[in-house]
Amino acid sequence: MEEVIEVRQDERFDVDRLTGWMTGHRSLPAGSPSVRQFAGGKANLTYLLEFPGGEQLVLRRPPLGPVAETSHDMTREYTVLSRLWKGFDKAPRAIALCEDPDVIGAPFFLMEPKPGVVIRDVVPDIFGGGRDEWANRKLSTVVIDTLVELHAVDPVECGLDNLGHPDGFLERQVEGWWGRWERAKDDEDPIADEVGIWLRSGVPQSGRPTLIHNDWRLDNMAVSPDDPGVCVAVYDWDMATRGDPLADVGTLMASWYDEGEEKSTLAPMPTTSAGWLDRSAALDRYGERSGRELAQADWYVVFGTWKLGVVLQQIYIRWLKGQTKDPRFEPLGEGARALFRLAALRMP
């Protein structure tokens, strides 16, 4: 139920070449599909394919322009989604992978659609438009409870016990994102540097690794149109791995704004709506339901906030260099700076 639009001019691809590739895969629908594009999301591009027989598939490919090394890995995401559904039914099942960039201009994969209601910066009218405190409370708890559910999945059960390299995960994350910041900056930002140095100097000791999503936010989920407390789908698995589960918590809390905090241009959760759990209560809920110790939660929240700023800067620099023309990306440079300021304020 996420909004679909006509494909943006610079994000179109050759449908005939796609159809020709699909004819070699008997498990895929026949005929030439009509193609529309999911409007949300600012990184990977996602399209809805509708076939003459009524079947639907979702196509996912990397963004336009150069991307950071190891990012937007379609083969990795396909591998995860071709297996994860066995142990976590909110994950869409991936069906086919194409690693040949000559077909549509980049590697891509096809997966089943899993429709639902996607909530971004405002609560939709279907759930009271932000005025229903009970609906707001449900939205704030379902994003926590579903994350606890993911972290309880046994990787062996779904054939993902070899995914990633959990040993040294946090150290690699911090150093990797520091390198991305250095490559993506268009100007010096002493606050961003200060936070990065603080993070590098105090990396926590990780507990037992779990499967992690690595980009956990409310707008990467869909809930049932009949009940905002029921998650029906989780999207965007290109960074999924095994590692420290509290990294997911920090990513989520990065955009979990309390009243009075400066918001970035990217504010994908209506966290100040009446009835919504505040950040401290949300962390308590995760700790109680997962049984994990959160004594160093502040470090993870600061890391998640700073990392999200780097993500916005990576997108912004592509726009600044003309590698993408999407006008939504123009304000992301200021959004990144706002997140760096917020990360500094969240440092204990």
Residue found by looking up tokens 């956990």 in the block: 216
Q: Do 4-111 and 125-345 fold alike per CATH?
A: no
CATH 3.30.200 fits 4-111, yes or no: yes
For position 66, what pLDDT does the model report? 56
Q: Taken in order 321, 322, 326, 328, is the CA torsion positive or negative?
A: positive
* Residue 261 near residue 37 (C-beta atoms within 8 A): no
Q: In which band, very low, low, confident or very high, does the pLDDT at 1 lie, cut at 50, 70 and 90?
A: low
* Residue 283 near residue 245 (C-beta atoms within 8 A): no
d(CA 177, CA 39): 27
243-301 tens-digit pLDDT = 999 999 999 999 999 999 988 766 679 999 999 999 999 999 999 999 999 999 999 99
Q: Which of 61, 79, 214 is nearest to 158 (CA)?
A: 79
For position 2, what pLDDT does the model report? 63
Instruction: List C-alpha distances in Å: 12 to 4, 63, 96, 227.
Output: 14, 12, 20, 35
168-209 tens-digit pLDDT = 999 999 999 999 999 999 889 999 999 999 999 999 999 999
* Residue 279 near residue 253 (C-beta atoms within 8 A): yes
The CATH architecture to which 125-345 belongs is Alpha-Beta Complex (3.90)
For position 41, what pLDDT does the model report? 64
Listed by start position, the domains of the chain span: 4-111, 125-345
Q: In which band, very low, low, confident or very high, does the pLDDT at 83 lie, cut at 50, 70 and 90?
A: very high
Instruction: Round to the nearest angstrom and report the end-to-end CA distance of the chain.
Output: 40
Quote the mean pLDDT of the chain. Answer: 93
Is the per-residue pLDDT at 78 higher than 70?
A: yes
Apex CA 40: angle with CA 108 and CA 155, to 5°?
Answer: 55
One-letter amino acid for residue 215 of the chain? D
Please provide the DSSP assignment of 238-280 as one string.
Answer: TT-EEE-HHHHHHHHHHT-PPTTPPPPS---S-TTSTTPPPHH
Q: In which band, very low, low, confident or very high, does the pLDDT at 331 lie, cut at 50, 70 and 90?
A: confident
290-317 tens-digit pLDDT = 999 999 999 999 999 999 999 999 989 9
d(CA 149, CA 142): 10
Q: Which of 36, 42, 44 is nearest to 81 (CA)?
A: 44
For position 106, what pLDDT does the model report? 93
Task: Give the residue-averaged pLDDT of 8-26.
Answer: 93
DSSP 34: E
One-letter amino acid for residue 91 of the chain? A
d(CA 147, CA 253): 12
pTM above 0.85, yes or no: yes
Q: What pairs with residue 243 in β-bridges?
A: 210
DSSP 225: T
Is the per-residue pLDDT at 24 higher than 90?
A: no
For position 340, what pLDDT does the model report? 97
Task: Give the residue-averaged pLDDT of 334-343.
Answer: 94
Apex CA 123: angle with CA 147 and CA 262, to 5°?
Answer: 80
Q: In which band, very low, low, confident or very high, does the pLDDT at 330 lie, cut at 50, 70 and 90?
A: confident
